[in-house]
Amino acid sequence: MWGGRFDGGPAKIMEEFTPSIDFDQRLATQDVAGSRIHAKMLAIQGIISKIDLDAILNGLATIETELKEGRFEFKRALEDIHLNIESRLAELAGPAAGRLHTARSRNDQVATDFRLWVRAACQRAEEGLEVLQKALFKQASAHVTTIMPGFTHMQSAQPVTFAHHLLAYVEMLARDRGRFADAAKRLNECPLGSAALAGTPFDIDRDYTALGLGFARPMRNSLDGVSARDFALEYLAACTIASTHLSKLAGEIVQWCSPGFGFVRLSDQFTTGSSIMPQKRNPDAAELVRGKTGRVIGDFVALATVVKGLVLAYGTDLQEDKERVFDAADTLEISLAVMAGMFADLAVNTERMRALANAGYPTATDLADWLVREAGKPFREAHHITGTIVKRAEELGVDLDKLPLEEMQAVEPAITEAVLKCLSVEASVAARMSYGGTAPDRVREQIAFWREKLK
């Protein structure tokens, strides 16, 4: 209880409350990289000596090794990653370390480190999305002619192919990739050299440090440099939107595994049993992916609320930015990998798909379209005629392609035997030849398109 902890004295609480090292240690690599390029620049500009530079670079190299080998000791008393590294550098490099902080501040350091981290996270997100696209694509390639019910409102609408259905997700993920690429590009300006907020009197070379860290250019305004977090929000927004797509896809899997559907069977590796019900095979991983969407939305909301409340320049409220971004990144990345794994060894029950594809008069639109095309009816009239025929089929308890011709003709004399060719789900699917439609021939074109794109 905090009331009790508080008796131990406020200082103790602050030690738990304000340090960020527990999470910002994930910026260690970026922090070392930033210090290295800053030191080089200071030396080139004559602000520090070559000897100091060497001491600093050697110290940083040692720190880098310690980090890689897990030997670097992070200390809460040193608050954050910057002071942890600076303090270790002081041990390794002596007074030279003290000169490294010339012409910079923790404000521009953390802004730089964090941009570097988010830039890499955008890259990882793109790669993870591509891995999932490939897994979906592979299943799609194998199911160009597999027919399943196409749902709207979770009602049978028109039959579609499984490949077509999966490729819809490949499209969504492609746009998600685009959002991460745009975010990475927009954030790629370097705040280093903004110092605390106003720039510095030292004659620094911001182009050198910016380019050295792979940025396109230095940021143009130092106040903006230390306070901007829209890049983190944009990243979180892209994560949120991508997560909604993963949630949809995960929701499909949960549904497809349900006994009312039975469309797919997950491998044992992606299901779990029940502690009480011996027969269960639960699609936990898909459910968890779906559930984790909420958390990513929450991450975006959290940071947007923080940023909204601040004036220029830096405020400690912004310390909340990193955990939200790390959480969203971890969540998105593992979700993508799990989904890709799930699709890689998914078994498809094509018979069950085919059977349900025929339920609920899904070719009624084909009948209406035939009446327009062949009998010259306006669509609205054709729609009405078809409704009447469906009702009759329902009364007789037969599918549309099993309804006797005379029953149809009783409703609409213009109907001829030719119509029967349109009323199977295979015919329906094959007929949808418009660009982007579900006809296997059209889907094959898309398969070819994505094979090229995803290779």
Known catalytic residues are 153, 274
Distance, CA of 437 to CA of 432 (rounded, Å): 5
Q: Which of 252, 191, 251 is nearest to 218 (CA)?
A: 191
Provide the 3-class DSSP secondary structure of residue 282: strand
Q: Considering the rule CB under 8 A, would residue 407 count as an interface residue with a copy of itself?
A: no
C-beta closer to a copy of itself: residue 32 or 86: 86
Can you tell me which of 433, 441, 448, 451 binds a copy of itself, judged by CB under 8 A? 433
Residue 71 or 256 having the CB closest to a copy of itself? 256
Q: Which is nearer to a copy of itself, 65 or 330 (CB)?
A: 330
Tell me the site size for a copy of itself, rule CB under 8 A.
Answer: 199
Q: 132: helix, coil or strand?
A: helix
Backbone angles phi, psi at 197, to 5 degrees: -175, -20
Residue 298 to residues 243, 288, 385, Cα–Cα distance (Å): 12, 16, 50
Give whichever of 18 and 71 is closer to a copy of itself, judged by the CB atom: 18
Q: Which of 36, 119, 179, 322 binds a copy of itself (CB under 8 A)?
A: 179
Long-range CB pairs of 287-294 (<8 Å, 24+ gap) are: 287/250, 287/254, 288/338, 289/246, 289/247, 289/250, 289/335, 289/338, 289/339, 290/246, 290/247, 290/250, 290/251, 290/254, 292/243, 292/331, 292/335, 293/240, 293/243, 293/244, 293/246, 293/247
Asked if 172 is part of the footprint of a copy of itself (rule: CB under 8 A), the reply reads yes
**């530079």: which residue's tokens?**
53
Stretch that binds a copy of itself, among 29-37, 66-74, 298-306, 408-416 (CB under 8 A): 298-306
Q: Which stretch binds a copy of itself (CB under 8 A): 32-40, 57-65, 269-277, 409-417?
A: 269-277
Q: 């320049």: which residue's tokens?
A: 313
Decide if residue 280 touches a copy of itself (CB under 8 A): yes
- Roughly how many angstroms between the first and final C-alpha of the chain, as a whole number? 56
Q: Which of 315, 404, 410, 421 binds a copy of itself (CB under 8 A)?
A: 315
Task: Show the site string, 186-225: x = touches a copy of itself by CB under 8 A, - = not.
Answer: x------xxxxxxxxxxxx-xx----------xxxxxxxx
Taking CB under 8 A as the criterion, which residues in 19-78 touch a copy of itself? none
Are residues 166 and 348 in contact, defined by beta-carbon separation less than 8 angstroms? no
DSSP track, 189-230: EE-TT-TTTT--SS---HHHHHHHTT-SEE-S-HHHHHH--H
Give 36 or 86: the residue with its C-beta nearer to a copy of itself: 86
| Interacting span for a copy of itself (CB under 8 A) from 27-35, 67-75, 268-276, 409-417 | 268-276
Binding characters for a copy of itself, 318-347, by CB under 8 A (x = yes): xxx--xx--------xx-xxx-xxx-xx--
CB of 392: closest distance to a copy of itself in angstroms?
12
Contacting residues for 54 by C-beta, under 8 A, at least 6 apart: none
8-state DSSP, 77? G
User: Which residues ranging from 343 to 402 are in contact with a copy of itself (CB under 8 A)?
Assistant: 344-345, 356, 359-362, 364-369, 372-373, 378-381, 383-384, 386-387, 390
With CA atoms as reference, report the closest residue to 439 among 171, 161, 149, 151: 161
Within 238-257, which residues bind a copy of itself (CB under 8 A)?
Answer: 240-241, 243-245, 247-248, 251-252, 254-255, 257
User: One symbol per residue from 98 to 137: x for binding a copy of itself (CB under 8 A), - otherwise; what is it?
Assistant: xxxxxxxxxx----------------x--xx-xx------
